[in-house]
Amino acid sequence: MDRLRDARKLLVLTGSGVSAESGVPTFREARSGLWENFDPLQLATPEAFLNDPALVWRWYRWRRDLVAAVEPNPGHFAIARLEAVVEELTLVTQNVDGLHQRAGSSAVIEYHGNLFDTHCFARCPGSEPVNPATTDDSPPQCASCGGWMRPGVVWFGEAIPPAALAAADQAARSCDVFLSVGTSSLVWPAAGLGELAMQSGATIIEVNLDGTPLTEQSHFVLRGKSGEILPELVNSITV
Ligand code: OAD
Q: For residue range 93-135, what is the model confidence (pLDDT) as tens digits?
A: 999 999 999 999 999 999 999 999 999 999 998 888 888 776 6
| 157 pLDDT higher than 90 | yes
Ligand 1 centre distance from Cα of residue 33 (Å): 9
Name the residue with the closest Cα to ligand 1, atom 19. Answer: 225
pLDDT, mean over the chain: 95
Pocket (CB within 6 angstroms of ligand 1): 15-17, 20-21, 26-29, 33, 44, 94, 112, 154, 182-184, 186-187, 207-210, 212, 225-227
112 is catalytic: yes
Ligand 1 centre distance from Cα of residue 8 (Å): 27
- CA-to-CA separations, 200 to 79, 176, 178, 194, 203, in angstroms, rounded: 23, 8, 11, 10, 9
Instruction: Check residue 134 and give its pLDDT.
Output: 67
Query: Model-level pTM?
Result: 0.96
